[in-house]
Amino acid sequence: MKRILLPTDFSENAWNALHYASNLYKNEEVDFYLLNAFTTHNFSLDNMMVPEPGEKWYDDAKTRSENELENILKRIEKLEVPSNHTYFTIAVFNTPLDAVKHLVEDKDIDLVIASNKGETNDVDSILGSNSINFMEKIRNCPVLIIPAEAMLGEINEIVFPTSFKTHYKRKELTHLNQIARISNAPIRILHVGQKEKLTKKQKQNKLLLEECFEGLGYTFHFLENTEVQTGLNLFVQSRNSGMISFINKKHSFFGSIFSKPMVKDLGFNAKVPVLALHDLRN
């Protein structure tokens, strides 16, 4: 059984992410945890004074959160949700990032799935900005970000960009392999650079990646004379790829992903779901 955490701000974008998750794992046994991290208009989590249970501001905000979560459950009941899916709701006074971090540990969550935009479609909205933080700062759990434009249905392929400059561990790729298996989607391994100029170490890492993807459908692709960000976008757009996945390795080729411009482009502006995996050694 998988445990998947679904942060929500009750927007349609968050609902779309939930619907996408349900469809993606339709044949899997899953416990879904719907999480709403609420605050109040009168208190800030940065202040020394915060409301406590029993105080009006706290109780009113929690009641609103719990009522909205119940409305989501009612909405789910109207869908033809798989019988092997179970939904739980959690309302907590906290920031979205800290709430997700706590629940990942407390519930032993396997995967976080969130929308890349909130109610306002603005990167600075609560869920929009935090979805980017989820990708960057939740280091012990994969994060799948779902754009509002993502379509339900089969994933035709998953693009996996790599520099071949670092070696991978099978555990790091577990969730990518699982999604590829349940969706029957081939993995397109993309290197922005010339194939002929791979070093001996890069060639060894390329062979290691083949071992990690053994039993799956995959192909290698090379783009020359372009920047990484541009090449990745062009590749995905030209092929209408269904998902992007990468490993956030610190101090490496893709460490640059977590500069703000790259985060906003990949995490916020991407038109396809983005699966952020993490380097287990960090």
pLDDT tens digits for range 148-178: 878 777 899 999 998 898 878 888 899 999 9
In sequence order, which residues have a C-beta less than 8 Å from that of residue 63 and are 6 or more positions away?
A: none
pLDDT class for 247, splitting at 50, 70, 90? confident
pLDDT (0 to 100) of residue 245: 92
pLDDT digits over 67-126, tens only?
999 999 999 998 878 899 999 999 999 889 999 999 999 999 999 999 886 554 444 444
On whether the CB atoms of residues 122 and 153 are closer than 8 A, the answer is no
pLDDT class for 259, splitting at 50, 70, 90? very low
pLDDT class for 39, splitting at 50, 70, 90? confident
Amino acid of residue 170: R
pLDDT (0 to 100) of residue 163: 87
pLDDT class for 251, splitting at 50, 70, 90? very low
CA distance 230 to 142: 24
CA distance 281 to 172: 10
Q: What percent of the chain has pLDDT over 90?
A: 52
pLDDT digits over 3-12, tens only?
999 999 999 9
Q: Which two tokens stand for residue 93?
A: 């006074």
On whether the CB atoms of residues 225 and 237 are closer than 8 A, the answer is no
Instruction: Report which of residues 132 and 200 the model is more confident about.
Output: 200
pLDDT class for 58, splitting at 50, 70, 90? confident
Q: Kindly list the distances between the CA atom of residue 117 and the CA atoms of 22, 139, 280, in Å, as whole numbers in the listed order.
A: 19, 21, 28
pLDDT class for 50, splitting at 50, 70, 90? low
Q: Kindly list the distances between the CA atom of residue 178 and the CA atoms of 12, 111, 203, 229, in Å, as whole numbers in the listed order.
A: 27, 12, 25, 26
If we measure between CA atoms, which residue out of 214, 197, 209, 219 comes closest to residue 167? Answer: 209
3-class DSSP assignment, residue 3:
strand
pLDDT (0 to 100) of residue 230: 81
Q: What is the mean pLDDT of the segment spanning 263-281? A: 67
pLDDT digits over 195-207, tens only?
788 999 999 999 9
Q: Is the torsion defined by CA of 95, 96, 97, 101 positive or negative?
A: positive
- Look up the pTM and report it: 0.87
pLDDT (0 to 100) of residue 51: 62
Q: Kindly list the distances between the CA atom of residue 63 and the CA atoms of 56, 127, 196, 237, in Å, as whole numbers in the listed order.
A: 10, 20, 61, 43
Domains belonging to the chain, first-starting first, are 2-146 (3.40.50.620), 158-278 (3.40.50.620)
